[in-house]
Amino acid sequence: MSSGLVLVANGLVRRRGDKTIIAGASLTLKLGESVALMGSSGCGKTTLLHLLGVLDRPGAGTVLIEGINPWSKGRNARAALRLRRIGFVFQQSNLIPFLSARDNVALPAWRLSGSRRSALAQADALLDRFGLSVQARAPGGVLSLGEAQRVATARALVNRPAIILADEPTGSLDSASTEAVLDSFDEIVREGTTLLVATHDSRVASRMHRMVHMQDGALADQPIPTTGCPSPFTALKIPAGRRP
């Protein structure tokens, strides 16, 4: 993208029944930027990630991924967009339990290229990079939570996506595992991948370039001065009457 904007979300609204989960949220993410999406449990962080990751359709508003509006495309095009340009890391149960760690990582690459051999080569390289070579052949279901999260991070990276969306990736981890996962995130960002992490852990937020607060389905941006974001960029729209 010549503008350097990886994701532009504008006026997103999502309702479930009578309840408004996301109330006009807007957010812009730049290339190589890491952003912490903070907020209390149930405030709508996961729903927003799903809207941004084209897993869920907004009731109103638009999402542009590298300038493409996925909801103007068909289902197959949206699946292709998730395959090529978006990586997901969820809080837990991230892996296909009956596949080995390397097969889990290789899965998106195999789907994209059609070649198992090259996909496994990519997976091995990523697992090696994340220090998981020993666990490569272990089934996803037997890995520790920390290992599973790092394997999931490797899987999210394997097709070199534009953006990684992580939903409470350290929520179930101990301190050591949390550090390992955050180190892997640092590496991702250094390589220029955009990272949006939903968390309520301030340790995680402090490792990001900036922080966005979510409350009652609306967003408020808060730059974090200590991290030295290379190019902090805020494109924040708070619906009238909701600005804190």
Binding site for other proteins (CB under 8 A): 1, 31-32, 46-47, 50, 53, 55-56, 66, 75-76, 79-86, 88, 90-99, 103, 107-108, 110-114, 116, 128-131, 155, 159-162, 167, 180, 183-184, 187, 190-192
Residue 139 structure tokens: 């089934």
Nearer to other proteins, 172 or 222 (CB): 172
> Which amino acid is residue 94, in one-letter code?
N
CB of 222 to other proteins, least distance (A): 25
Nearer to other proteins, 97 or 203 (CB): 97
Q: What is the DSSP string of 219-234?
A: EEEEE-GGG--SS---
Nearer to other proteins, 222 or 227 (CB): 227
CB of 114 to other proteins, least distance (A): 4
Hey, which residues does 95 pair with through a beta bridge? none
Q: Which secondary-structure segment (H or E) carries 87?
A: strand 86-89
The torsion defined by the Cα of 208, 81, 75 and 47, in degrees rounded to 10, comes to: 0
CB of 200 to other proteins, least distance (A): 14
Nearer to other proteins, 93 or 202 (CB): 93
**Phi-psi label, residue 76: left if phi above 0, alpha if psi -120 to 50, beta otherwise:** alpha
Nearer to other proteins, 183 or 215 (CB): 183
Q: What interhelical angle do 101-113 and 145-157 show, nearest 10?
A: 20
CB of 215 to other proteins, least distance (A): 19
Instruction: Map residue 169 onto helix, strand or coil.
Output: coil
Nearer to other proteins, 77 or 236 (CB): 77
Give the Cα separation of 156 and 108 in Å (integer): 8
- Decide: 129 and 155 in contact? Cβ < 8 Å: no
Contacts of 60 (CB under 8 A, 6+ apart): 11, 12, 13, 24
CB of 23 to other proteins, least distance (A): 18
Q: Which secondary-structure segment (H or E) carries 125?
A: helix 116-129
CB of 51 to other proteins, least distance (A): 8
